[in-house]
Amino acid sequence: MNIAIVDDNPLDLETLDRILKEYCAVNAIDAEISVFDDAQKLLDGYRPLQYTVIFLDIYMNSITGIEAARSVRNADPDTLLVFLTSSTDHMSEAFTLHAFDYIQKPVNACQIFRVMDDILKRRTESESNRLSFYSNKRDYSLPYSEIVTVITNANYLEITDCHGNTYKTRMTFVAASTQLEQDKRFLRLLRGVLVNMDFIASFGSDTCRIKGGDELPINIRSRKSIEQTWRNYLFSKIRGESMRRGGNQ
């Protein structure tokens, strides 16, 4: 597990680093913790999936935590964001960026241990459902959370993941979609085209734009319904996350 802490207050940075190391030691977690005293240092050279979770102070002298989070989200839909602040003024804005949690300072071990417990639980749940298939003389088993698209291409099925890999398999679209569409994340755009809604950026008049720049065709007659399904999913996800976090305070 890779963890980043971004805070321009040296004492707060040191305190959180110490608590996280204590949590990882107690729970026998192999983790690498990177600390940044400036948000720009985090953003320089940032790449998707670089960190499992980023703890971000909101009030910083250069780039604020909210501004940094927007940049992270533009490149990375999956990294968990935990905001740290002395005020609740930015809570609603934080959750529009799909914040995993919002912790008021000064942080303490009880708060951080609870958040880390929730993160580990979420990772376990998200990776429990997997799609297994054979490709290029190898067996693969991908967590649903890492699958971006499943597309029929001639006699093959092409599966792409969030790491930029594409797998060609003889598995039928029916077999894959029957399994994946039991999960609320997956949306059928067209016959033979399935997408994980966590990776949708927006919709055009006849396309679905994927985070990262790719575009997929959609059923034009069902466009409004397809886009509304995605918007409903986003609303449900944000609302559910907010309620769950609020209930654990």
pLDDT reported for residue 121: 79
The per-residue pLDDT for range 32-83, each reduced to its tens digit, is 999 999 999 999 988 877 888 999 998 888 888 888 988 888 878 778 899 9
Phi, psi of 84 (to 5 degrees): -120, 130
- pLDDT 10s digits, 95-135: 667 788 888 888 999 999 999 998 887 766 555 688 999 99
Task: Convert the pLDDT of each residue in 160-207 to its tens digit.
Answer: 998 889 999 999 999 999 999 988 899 999 999 999 998 998 999 899
Q: Is a pLDDT exceeding 50 seen at residue 234?
A: yes
Do 186 and 196 touch, CB atoms closer than 8 A? yes
Domain boundaries, the chain: 2-126, 130-232
CATH topology of domain 2-126: Rossmann fold (3.40.50)
Give the pLDDT band (50/70/90) at residue 242.
low
pTM above 0.85, yes or no: no
Lowest mean pLDDT among 11-20, 43-52, 133-142: 43-52
Burial tier of 156 (Cβ tally within 10 Å: 0-12, 13-18, 19+)? middle
Q: Which CATH superfamily is domain 130-232 in?
A: LytTr DNA-binding domain (2.40.50.1020)
**Positive or negative: CA dihedral 225, 231, 235, 238:** positive
141 φ/ψ angles, rounded to the nearest 5 degrees = -145, 100
Q: Helix, strand, or coil here: 21?
A: helix
Chain position carrying tokens 């309620």 = 243
| 14 to 7, 21, 34, 81, 125: CA distances (angstroms) | 9, 11, 11, 19, 31
